[in-house]
Amino acid sequence: MSSRSAGRGEGRPTLEAVAALAGVGRGTVSRVVNGAAGVSPRARTAVEQAIAELGYVPNRAARSLATSRADAVALIIPETETRLASEPFFASIIRGVASELSETELQLLLILVSTERERRRLAGFLDGRRVDGVLMVSVHADDPVAELVESTGLPTVLGGRRSELEPLSYVNSDNLGGAWSAVRHLLGLGRRRVATITGPLDMEASCVRLEGYRRALEETGVAVEAGLIAHGDFSEESGERAMAELLVREPAVDAVFCASDLMAAGAMRALRQAGRRIPTDVAVVGFDDSPLARHTEPPMTTVRQPSEEMGRAMARLLLEEIAAPGRSHRQIILSTDLVVRESA
Amino acid sequence: MSSRSAGRGEGRPTLEAVAALAGVGRGTVSRVVNGAAGVSPRARTAVEQAIAELGYVPNRAARSLATSRADAVALIIPETETRLASEPFFASIIRGVASELSETELQLLLILVSTERERRRLAGFLDGRRVDGVLMVSVHADDPVAELVESTGLPTVLGGRRSELEPLSYVNSDNLGGAWSAVRHLLGLGRRRVATITGPLDMEASCVRLEGYRRALEETGVAVEAGLIAHGDFSEESGERAMAELLVREPAVDAVFCASDLMAAGAMRALRQAGRRIPTDVAVVGFDDSPLARHTEPPMTTVRQPSEEMGRAMARLLLEEIAAPGRSHRQIILSTDLVVRESA
DNA sequence: TCTTCGAATGGGAGCGCTCCCAACTTTCGA
DNA sequence: TCGAAAGTTGGGAGCGCTCCCATTCGAAGA
């Protein structure tokens, strides 16, 4: 009605315009738009018609301002370009999160943090209350980013945990069981000099996979030897290097369990260079079941972790946490399973 | 000053609170926060101190509402889960975009569109003016998503183009040159029965790569034979299938240029199954230089396209377009180069 | 027919920020 | 010494929505 808005020409239709056209008040339109109860069928119809006619779409900034909700969640990936691109794990997580979120009104903000600058920027961002919750994957033990997020008090769900007493909600895959079954498989094949290449030990997943390796060995009465344990950082190069070391240290090694497919691929390369046949001389098992595992020569036996489902579960948990902020934190463990191909 | 805000306890500090503490007006604080000129050094200092003391962070929703800017851009990926996870190309694009954007105040919204529902949701979203601009990759010729985006009139930059007369701004890699040099390399190796496995022909990149193949052949005086051209859809399976077909149709084939690494990996598998040695019997070249290319057996010769740089360039172009909406559209072509490994 | 109570409704009062203009200072040249 | 010009500053008026309360309208019960 105000001559002001009439004079502004091309502005998009507002709630007020819809109300005017439908011949009702703003409150009623708002109720209809938000699906609130207490609107007569007649009014509802009139409003819906007006909305359709005007092509009205609510202005989110205005809504956010009024409700102090952001209608968005952030997915934080504190990793380098290399890992992001080389590990399909992240893409799967993203996909899972996105698909779960697509059922809701929430937007997905992607935040990659690799430099110190980006970390500082993140701090300001989170304080600006631009998101209702945070998802974060690939958390290292003393990750300053994780601590930053935790300190904001925003609803948060991690993919993986920082330690056994992780205070935040998280979704994890059964790393222990996965590693255990991989090594059991190797032992079942009659291998007795079973080595392992671990991931970075400041990540809980790495430690737990190592623990699974240990337990499988112990259970079978095979001694755990320090010489059979080498360390990597999940990258292919580190796997290659670690395998080369193992070969020097323990020439009799006849199997190796790697904490990631990428490292397993590196290990396979090192083995090939050393003239060892896979799996005849040395059996290899990876972890992740990334697409890569099917391309190696021979195709890799590996532990599948349901990464897309992890993303979905993370999103679901976050939604719950946003809905009921008081509730205590929860965790979800997703099971893994061994995919037997030809490398072991 | 208002007793209201005093009574509200834990609300985050507002512009007004900063103004009160600094002993200046709202306008002055706003100017300082936004780096506008016309603030005396004294006032500026006082405001900065107050900001630091209060830990003030501007509320973005309020700013958006007042300025009708969203301070965010969307990256739309209209692809299936499979491609997203299996092609590191997307991850690199994301990384490039994110890193370029981290220099600015803009947020990155990631939108994956695979289902019809998601597409409809996207429409409402874009109309809601929740972003200042749109980035979109993997555009197919008659992509309804692209048309949707185009119809919104939002500043838009594509990764790849839909056709030669693409009206929107875009960043592309030199598909023609890349394919050309790959095939020239094969010919230089003395191969004469050079096949190609194309990508989906509703994508311009696929057509152009095929055109590069043709030209290289023609220039060298080698006839282009329909029988040597097989079609895939960028997936590994399609590459395997296409290679199998080729082997049946043209048993004498001695080289194959594949429009993606993934298809090349599939082709290699088919060759292996057929008992052909790579590259002795059949040389293979891929396209992308994805991490995968280094893992195949033998390591794959492929055309590198600078995907992260593509993401960066897209973001830069979009920033320009947002800053100067009137300007005519632009395009950037990034060069590709051949990475020679062992498969050719 | 009159009262009572719940359902439906309109619209004021913000949410926190930017924009812009009027007003106030300072600084200079005449 | 005075006025103009330039530099600063404060704060009103929104941006479009939600929240909430006062009001209105009906229908059911007495």
Report CA A233 to chain centroid distance, whole Å: 18
Which residue did the predictor score with more confidence, B178 or B126?
A: B178
Q: Which of B12, B94, B118, B263 is the mutation pick for testing A, counting most A CBs within 10 A? A: B94
Bases along strand C below 7 A from a protein CB: 7-12, 14-21
pLDDT above 90 as % of chain A = 77
What is the pLDDT averaged over residues A219-225?
95
Structure confidence at residue B267 (pLDDT): 97
B65 CB-to-strand D distance under 7 Å: yes
A251 CB-to-strand C distance under 7 Å: no
Q: For residue B317, is pLDDT > 90?
A: yes
Q: For residue B325, is pLDDT > 80?
A: no
Binning pLDDT at 50, 70 and 90, where does residue B169 land?
very high
Binning pLDDT at 50, 70 and 90, where does residue B129 land?
confident
Nearest-by-Cβ selection for B12 from A72, A129, A292: A129
Question: How distant is C1' of D2 from CA of B39, in Å?
Answer: 28
Question: How distant is C1' of D2 from CA of B40, in Å?
Answer: 26
Structure confidence at residue A124 (pLDDT): 81
Binning pLDDT at 50, 70 and 90, where does residue A125 land?
confident
Cβ within 8 Å, pair B127-A85: no
Question: How distant is C1' of C18 from CA of A305, in Å?
Answer: 49
Cβ within 8 Å, pair A94-B110: yes
What is the pLDDT averaged over residues A192-210?
96
CB pairs A-B closer than 8 Å: 143
Closest chain B CA to residue A96: B81
What is the pLDDT averaged over residues A166-172?
94
Cβ within 8 Å, pair A65-B61: yes
B18 CB-to-strand D distance under 7 Å: no
Q: For residue A286, is pLDDT > 90?
A: yes
Q: Which residues on chain B are in Cβ contact (under 8 Å) with A292?
A: 291-292, 295
Which residue did the predictor score with more confidence, B103 or A181?
A: A181
| Residues 49-108 of chain A sitting with CB below 7 angstroms of strand C | 62, 65-66, 68
Structure confidence at residue A267 (pLDDT): 97
Structure confidence at residue B193 (pLDDT): 96
Q: What is the mean pLDDT of chain A?
A: 91
Q: Which residues on chain A are in Cβ contact (under 8 Å) with B51?
A: none
The secondary structure of residue A132, as a DSSP letter, is: S
Shortest alpha-carbon distance between residue A120 and chain B (Å): 11
Structure confidence at residue A7 (pLDDT): 30
Question: How distant is C1' of D28 from CA of A36, in Å?
Answer: 26
A189 CB-to-strand D distance under 7 Å: no
A26 CB-to-strand C distance under 7 Å: yes
Closest chain A CA to residue B296: A296
Question: How distant is C1' of C15 from CA of B131, in Å?
Answer: 21
Which residue did the predictor score with more confidence, B38 or B169?
A: B169
What is the pLDDT averaged over residues B21-28?
94
Structure confidence at residue A249 (pLDDT): 96
Q: Which of A22-31, A111-120, B23-32 has the lowest mean pLDDT?
A: A111-120
In angstroms, the CA A310 to CA B96 distance is 25
Structure confidence at residue A81 (pLDDT): 63
Structure confidence at residue A100 (pLDDT): 94
What is the pLDDT averaged over residues B6-19?
71
In angstroms, the CA B82 to CA A291 distance is 9
Question: How distant is C1' of D18 from CA of B327, in Å?
Answer: 39
B50 CB-to-strand D distance under 7 Å: no
Q: DSSP characters for B244-260?
A: HHHHHH-TT--EEEESS
What is the pLDDT averaged over residues A295-312?
93
Q: For residue B336, is pLDDT > 60?
A: yes
| Residues 5-44 of chain A sitting with CB below 7 angstroms of strand D | 5, 8, 11-12, 14-16, 26-27, 30, 33-34
Per-residue b or e along A207-222, where b marks 16 or more CB atoms closer than 10 Å to that residue's CB: bbbbebbbbbbeeeeb
Nearest-by-Cβ selection for B102 from A59, A108, A121: A121
Task: For B246-266, write each residue's pLDDT tens digit.
Answer: 999 999 999 999 999 999 999
Q: For residue A4, is pLDDT > 50?
A: no
Closest chain A CA to residue B72: A109
Question: Are A96 and A314 in contact, with CB atoms under 8 Å apart?
Answer: yes
B66 CB-to-strand C distance under 7 Å: yes
Q: Which helix H or strand E contains A110, and what residues bound it?
A: strand A107-112
Which residue did the predictor score with more confidence, A182 or B329?
A: A182
In angstroms, the CA A89 to CA A177 distance is 19
Structure confidence at residue B180 (pLDDT): 98
In angstroms, the CA A9 to CA A253 distance is 78
Structure confidence at residue B81 (pLDDT): 63
Which residue did the predictor score with more confidence, A113 or A291?
A: A113
Most confident region among A11-20, B319-328, B334-343 by mean pLDDT? B334-343
Binning pLDDT at 50, 70 and 90, where does residue A192 land?
very high
Closest chain A CA to residue B123: A57
What is the pLDDT averaged over residues A11-37?
92
B5 CB-to-strand C distance under 7 Å: yes
Q: Is B3 exposed, middle or buried (0-12, 13-18, 19+ CB in 10 A)?
A: exposed
Binning pLDDT at 50, 70 and 90, where does residue B7 land?
very low
Structure confidence at residue A9 (pLDDT): 38
Structure confidence at residue B63 (pLDDT): 94
pLDDT above 70 as % of chain A = 96
Structure confidence at residue B291 (pLDDT): 81
Q: Which residues on chain A are in Cβ contact (under 8 Å) with B121?
A: 102
Domains and CATH numbers, chain B: 3-58 (1.10.260.40), 72-173+308-333 (3.40.50.2300), 175-304 (3.40.50.2300)
Task: List CB contacts of B8: < 8 A, sequence separation 6 or more.
Answer: none
The secondary structure of residue B9, as a DSSP letter, is: T
What is the pLDDT averaged over residues B193-201?
97
Task: For B37-83, write each residue's pLDDT tens digit.
Answer: 889 999 999 999 999 999 999 999 999 999 999 999 999 998 776 77
Nearest-by-Cβ selection for A91 from B60, B64, B91: B91
Question: How distant is C1' of C5 from CA of A21, in Å?
Answer: 32
Q: What angle do CA A181, A291, B239 make, to 5 degrees?
A: 140
Nearest-by-Cβ selection for B98 from A68, A112, A129: A112
pLDDT above 90 as % of chain B = 77
What residue has token string 């990926």? B77
What is the pLDDT averaged over residues A89-95?
91
In angstroms, the CA A81 to CA A138 distance is 13
Q: Which residues on chain B are in Cβ contact (under 8 Å) with A62?
A: 61, 65
Question: Are B36 and B28 in contact, with CB atoms under 8 Å apart?
Answer: no
